[in-house]
A = this chain, B = another copy of it.
Amino acid sequence: MTTLTERKLTTQKAIAEAIAQEMEADESVFVMGEDVGVYGGIFGATEGLLDRFGPDRVMDTPISETGFIGAAIGAAINGMRPIAELMFVDFFGVCMDQIYNNMAKIHYFSGGNVKVPMVLTTACGGGYSDAGQHSQTLWGMFAHLPGMKVVVPSNPYDAKGLMIAAIRDDNPVVYMFHKGVLGLGWMTPNPRAIGPVPEEPYTVPLGKAAVAREGTDVSVVTVGLTVHRALDAAETLEAKGISTEVVDLRSLVPLDREAIVASVRKTHRLLVVDEDYRSFGMTGEVITTAIEGAFDYLDAPPARIAVPDVPIPYSRPLEQFVLPDADKIVAGVEALMAG
């Protein structure tokens, strides 16, 4: 579908465009968060919005995450469709009660009567030495707690479509963007962070995985920046004669279990790659999903690569040691093929 004349955007600009288009279309959509106004969001998710929509619809807040995320809930219940930004997901601990006990549960407690249509945007991920309170992904934790959808785009096209779908969804959606896929000018360049994005609004459905690359020998299931790592690894592996299928989950809630099972039934081998902590998280869930749906198809025990249950360390060699990368994925796949 990509043609030479197609417009390309970075993921960050695709997100900002999605929000702008929905704000244009729907008066009830507004944005609140720290530095979302004149700064345009620390990671640019709200770039240009203040100029276009003014301070009533693009609201800078105090550093009061419990206060303003709770306020977003109240506004959502009362006819608005707020987008609240938690600057880094690592900060969830100061406001998690509003997120998981309130935002995520009101609809259920009300027996379906009250709707909480809001989007909680948040930046996640490491790899640039921001240490243990600014580098986590934590999506496994959000996905563990019922009542919120959890979306993790890996590329510009999906980022726009998932954001529009999230804003239009009548449920609370946690929209987690990995800093490394945004294509920011001040981050390590990532060629996959820029790509074709249609100008007009469109949606990408929440809860549908994408096969980012087809393959026949092994399935690498992952999400976020490690989709890029897996695609890089797949190229290396291809040269070694191993055909790797890369599944980009795109959202953890709903989790596209069928896509996982289908891929494993096809390739018979599974490596799960996650930039979140290893234990009690996404890797275990995806492996268990494969066990539940494709046990008899497996030629080897599924394997996983994730952060080895340590806080994210600051120093580069330490951090690189704990984060998944293409080399580790290549090694992981090779071990799987041997096993």
Residues of A within 8 A of B (CB): 66, 90-101, 104-105, 108-109, 131-133, 140-141, 143-147, 252-253, 255, 276-277, 279-285, 287-288, 291-292, 295, 300-304, 309-311, 313
A292–chain B nearest beta-carbon distance, Å: 6
Known contacts A92-B96, A98-B93, A101-B93; decide if A144 and B146 are in contact (CB<8 Å).
no
A108, A143, A145, A284 pick with most chain B CB within 10 angstroms: A284
Choose one: B94, B144, B284; the contact of A288 (CB below 8 Å).
B284
Rounded to whole angstroms, the CA-CA distance of A291 and B298 in the bound complex is 11
CB-CB < 8 A to A131: which residues of B?
Answer: 109
Q: Is the CB of B311 within 8 A of A108?
A: yes
Q: Is the CB of A292 within 8 A of B301?
A: yes
CB-CB < 8 A to A300: which residues of B?
Answer: 295
Choose one: B98, B277, B292; the contact of A144 (CB below 8 Å).
B277
Rounded to whole angstroms, the CA-CA distance of A105 and B131 in the bound complex is 11
Q: Is the CB of A97 within 8 A of B108?
A: no
CB-CB < 8 A to A91: which residues of B?
Answer: 97
Choose one: B66, B252, B287, B311; the contact of A287 (CB below 8 Å).
B287
Copies in the complex: 2
Rounded to whole angstroms, the CA-CA distance of A282 and B90 in the bound complex is 22
Rounded to whole angstroms, the CA-CA distance of A277 and B276 in the bound complex is 19
A209–chain B nearest beta-carbon distance, Å: 15
Q: Is the CB of B304 within 8 A of A280?
A: no
In the A-B complex, the 7 residue pairs with the smallest Cβ-Cβ separation, listed nearest first, are: A93-B97, A284-B284, A93-B96, A295-B301, A144-B280, A284-B288, A284-B285
Q: Is the CB of B279 within 8 A of A285?
A: yes
CB-CB < 8 A to A280: which residues of B?
Answer: 140-141, 143-144, 252, 280-282, 284-285
CB-CB < 8 A to A310: which residues of B?
Answer: 108, 146
Q: Is the CB of A291 within 8 A of B287?
A: yes
Choose one: B93, B94, B133, B143; the contact of A279 (CB below 8 Å).
B143
CB-CB < 8 A to A144: which residues of B?
Answer: 140-141, 144, 276-277, 279-281
CB-CB < 8 A to A281: which residues of B?
Answer: 144, 280, 285
